[in-house]
């Protein structure tokens, strides 16, 4: 952004946004049209304290500094002294967790201080800064917060500009399709249907106005809770400034202190929530296409999966399953008996997921439109005409999902789909997308849960509130079963209701790399349950690209192959037997690792840990020249270095500090350095952290195919103590909310002569199996004695083909000691 000194005599300034979209003007009766003046905070004249809220004023504008927790402080600006009514779709009334806070002042500053962070307000110029308890200033204003009046809509354009240190780096902001570090770049948040999006294209489908900065080895976060079009500049225009601004609403941002990136993300989740536990089947492999029809095509697809012994849990129906693209209807020509068909698919282990868009066809003979029209549930424009636009069904009207009454109605519309057996719902086109115009006009009005506003205010939350209505409806209709939903559009907090995918990508190696970066970025931005269209939605992948994408997809939280109707079909067997065998091997790996994956979801839900963790999060002080951006860990135990180039037979990768094991060969590697490893087509570099306990299921063709008789654990030797978590429950109900689950913690530590494994357990769930098979990897000695809970075991020690030591133990053991 262009900045000037706060000088009343200077000419009115034009913002970057005005330069890009046309200067905003007011009509002066004397000199005609003139630019709107940008106004800045002046010196602080007074303050008032109300519990943990502090209000500072320059005589006209007011700033609120609110202590939310020991590590989170919120800042709000009211340009003329009156704050908007407190309301947020992102922050669901966070519980106050303030241990100690204090207020003080000296000649120059006010101090709002917690045990962890201090907010300083300069009396002379109203500059705000934050410092940690070691005195490091982590975040500080470059200029005071400022604003311009919006003559067209009322309200203000609001701005905040921070200092940007030379070594400071930035991460987050959702799934922007660019390099992982945002330094030197500019973005905007305005949910947009971007078919076949390109690298660095902006904006995309989601708006997540949350970023993480790392300065001098300390992490902090900034969450700008503003649903209007927002903009972020990370040293792009001027290298020493970081700016964020919005086309309306308030400056309302949360400063979130670390000092580690993981701390920042966890604390962001305390504001915006975590994912509810998904049904376990939703973590399996999903197959989708625009579109699989008629019924015979879908049944043939299912038959191929089962006959070829390629695991799969869900098949998708795109818009062609509907009658004339009317939502909540069936094309009886293609699907004459949906209930029978879905039941037959379920008998073969397949869940059915259907698409539902927001556009409701204008047709008085169509029951959904008739109900919406009679109850005035559709969006209206400022002159009170209904908002209409053309999408797949033709002329459509659109529900106002910001109205709680409309959300309740919408959720009830899924009754018939649930009754015929539909297991999951995919909300698409909900940016909202409209053919021709792109989206709704700005003057469309929204109820906004009683805080009425135009589409400028509601646009970025429209898709989030749609999938919220979908999730709540399914939760009610499916009784105690967990809903599965997926949405294309969303805003911060959307993780409370849905999974996401990155939209209409391309079948290219560049987009394979972007897939890794976008999913990592979503994960650290609060949306861990994410994936991409494996193989690319548009374009034609060859067998190598599709297979490498399958390999990456095993380690994205949501794993779905999807393609456009004008492309060749792309199932795991579509490229010949060589590729089919490799794809089967990796999808089988996904299913064996599902208990580990499910446990990572539990840690996300309960503790706020992101599922995918970039290397800079795993090792915050890593040298930037060593980072391979495509590398990440799934949970905290398994590191992935996907293959991103055609014909690549080896690659250089970086392993974080510590000891690691090659998943395939169990060869040990030292961390904190680079290694060159082989990357044949039938493999991908996967490493496991020393000390890890990795649970594995016996191979299934779908989740719940049978009850395991025994759970396998791969235990990797370490000479330092390492903790691992394992979670299990019913897999598809909400009983875990009443403590009907088991969370187990394993503690592993060894030395040259022994390995010790401890197990701790909490929760009330009791699985049917009774024993574990423990496979010990990397022991520096040949065991001679095994003690389980103090009793020496007579069982013969076995070694498998990879020289793993195999022992068996009761699932409730507390302590195992293996001696040389």
Look at the chain and count its residues.
820
Total Cβ atoms within 10 A of residue 802: 10
Secondary-structure percent of the chain, ordered helix, strand, coil, rounded to 5: 20, 35, 45
Torsion of CA 522, 525, 529, 532, to 10 degrees: -10
Token representation of residue 369: 């439109």
Strands 230-234 and 241-246: antiparallel
Residue 104 annotated as catalytic: no
Supply the DSSP symbol for 378: B
The enclosing H or E element of 759 equals strand 754-762
Phi/psi of residue 622, nearest 5 degrees: -60, 145
What is the distance between the alpha carbons of residues 511 and 488, in angstroms, rounded to a whole number?
18
Q: Active-site residue 400, yes or no?
A: no
Per the DSSP assignment, residues forming a β-bridge with 651 are 677
Nearest to 520 by CA among 790, 181, 204: 181
* Per annotation, catalytic residue among 202, 295, 504, 729: 504
Rounded Cα gap, residues 558 and 530, in angstroms: 5
The residue with tokens 């394993």 is: 746
Rg (CA), the chain: 28
DSSP string, 410-440: HHHTTHHHHHTT--EEEE-STTT-BTTTBS-
Residue 755 has phi, psi (to 5 degrees) of -130, 130
Q: Which residues pair with 38 in a beta bridge?
A: 148
CB neighbour burial string for 321-344, b if at least 16 within 10 angstroms, e if fewer:
bbbebbbbbbbeebbeebeebbee
| Catalytic residue chosen out of the listed positions 225, 247, 400, 428 | 428
Which one of the listed residues 3, 431, 544, 743 is annotated catalytic? 431
Q: Is 504 a catalytic residue?
A: yes
- CB 456, CB 233: distance < 8 Å: no
Taken in order 527, 528, 529, 535, the sign of the CA dihedral is: positive
The kind and range of the H/E element at 369 are helix 367-374
| Catalytic residue positions, numbered | 428, 431, 504
């Amino acid at each position: 952004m262009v900045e000037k000194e706060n000088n009343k005599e200077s000419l009115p300034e034009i913002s970057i946004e005005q330069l890009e979209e046309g200067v905003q003007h007011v009509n002066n009766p004397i000199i005609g049209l003139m630019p709107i003046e940008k106004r800045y905070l002046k010196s602080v004249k007074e303050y008032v304290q109300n519990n943990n809220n502090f209000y500072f004023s320059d005589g006209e504008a007011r700033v609120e500094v609110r202590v939310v927790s020991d590590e989170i402080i919120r800042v709000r600006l009211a340009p003329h002294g009156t704050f908007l009514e407190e309301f947020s779709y992102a922050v669901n009334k966070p519980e106050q967790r303030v241990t100690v806070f204090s207020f003080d002042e000296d000649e120059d500053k006010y101090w709002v201080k917690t045990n962890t962070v201090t907010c300083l307000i300069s009396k002379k110029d109203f500059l705000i800064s934050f410092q940690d308890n070691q005195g490091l200033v982590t975040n500080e204003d470059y200029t005071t917060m400022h604003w311009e009046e919006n003559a067209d809509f009322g309200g203000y354009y609001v701005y905040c500009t921070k200092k940007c240190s030379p070594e400071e780096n930035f991460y987050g902001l959702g799934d922007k399709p660019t390099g992982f570090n945002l330094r030197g770049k500019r973005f905007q948040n305005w949910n947009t249907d971007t078919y076949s999006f390109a690298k660095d294209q902006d904006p995309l489908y989601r708006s997540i106005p949350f970023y993480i900065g790392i300065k001098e080895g300390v992490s902090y976060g900034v969450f700008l809770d503003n649903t209007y079009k927002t903009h972020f500049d990370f040293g792009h225009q001027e290298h020493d400034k970081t700016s964020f601004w919005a086309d309306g609403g308030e400056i309302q941002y949360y400063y979130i202190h670390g000092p580690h990136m993981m701390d920042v993300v966890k604390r962001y989740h305390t504001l915006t929530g975590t994912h509810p536990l998904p049904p376990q089947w939703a973590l399996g492999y999903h197959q989708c296409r625009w579109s699989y029809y008629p019924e015979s095509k879908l049944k043939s697809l299912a038959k191929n999966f089962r006959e070829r012994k390629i695991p799969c849990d869900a098949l998708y129906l795109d818009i062609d399953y509907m009658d004339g693209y009317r939502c909540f209807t069936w094309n009886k020509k293609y699907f004459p008996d949906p209930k029978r068909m879905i039941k037959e698919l379920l008998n073969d282990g397949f869940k059915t997921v259907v698409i539902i868009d927001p556009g409701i066809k204008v047709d008085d003979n169509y029951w959904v439109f008739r109900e919406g029209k009679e109850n005035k549930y559709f969006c209206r424009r400022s002159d009170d005409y209904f908002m209409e636009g053309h999408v797949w069904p033709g002329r459509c009207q659109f529900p106002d999902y910001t109205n709680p009454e409309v959300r309740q109605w919408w959720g009830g519309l899924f009754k018939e789909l649930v009754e015929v057996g539909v297991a999951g719902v995919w909300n698409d086109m909900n940016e909202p997308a409209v053919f021709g115009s792109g989206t709704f006009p700005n003057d469309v009005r929204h109820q906004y849960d009683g805080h009425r506003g135009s589409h400028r205010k509601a646009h970025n939350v429209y898709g989030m509130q749609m999938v919220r209505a979908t999730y709540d409806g399914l939760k009610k209709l499916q009784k105690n079963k967990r809903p599965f939903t997926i949405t294309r559009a969303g805003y911060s907090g959307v993780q409370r209701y849905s999974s996401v995918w990155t939209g209409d990508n391309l079948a290219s190696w560049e987009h394979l790399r972007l897939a890794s970066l976008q999913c990592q970025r979503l994960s650290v931005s609060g949306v861990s349950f994410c994936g991409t269209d494996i193989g690319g939605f548009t374009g034609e992948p060859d067998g190598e690209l599709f297979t490498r994408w399958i390999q990456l997809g095993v380690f994205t939280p949501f794993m779905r192959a999807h393609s456009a109707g004008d492309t060749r079909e792309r199932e795991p067997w579509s490229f010949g037997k060589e590729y089919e065998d490799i794809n089967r091997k990796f999808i089988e790996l996904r299913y064996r690792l599902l208990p580990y994956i499910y446990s990572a979801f539990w840690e996300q839900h309960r503790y706020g840990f992101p599922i995918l963790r970039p290397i800079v999060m795993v090792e915050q002080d890593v040298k930037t020249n060593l980072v391979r951006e495509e590398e990440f860990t799934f949970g905290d135990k398994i590191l992935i270095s996907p293959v991103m180039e055609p014909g690549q037979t080896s690659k250089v990768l970086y392993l974080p500090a510590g000891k690691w094991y090659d998943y395939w060969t169990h060869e040990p590697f030292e961390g904190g350095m680079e290694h060159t490893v082989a990357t044949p087509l039938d493999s991908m570099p996967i490493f496991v952290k020393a000390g890890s306990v990795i649970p594995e299921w016996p191979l299934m063709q779908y989740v719940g195919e049978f009850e395991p008789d025994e759970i396998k654990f791969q235990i990797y030797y370490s000479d330092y103590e390492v903790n691992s978590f394992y979670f299990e429950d019913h897999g598809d109900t909400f009983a875990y909310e009443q403590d009907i689950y088991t969370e187990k913690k394993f503690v592993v530590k060894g030395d040259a002569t022994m390995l010790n494994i401890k197990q701790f357990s909490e929760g009330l769930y009791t699985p049917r199996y009774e024993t574990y098979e423990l496979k010990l990897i990397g022991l520096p000695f040949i065991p001679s004695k095994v003690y389980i809970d103090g009793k020496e075991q007579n069982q013969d020690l076995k070694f498998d083909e990879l020289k793993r030591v195999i022992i068996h133990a009761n699932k409730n053991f507390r302590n195992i000691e293996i001696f040389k």
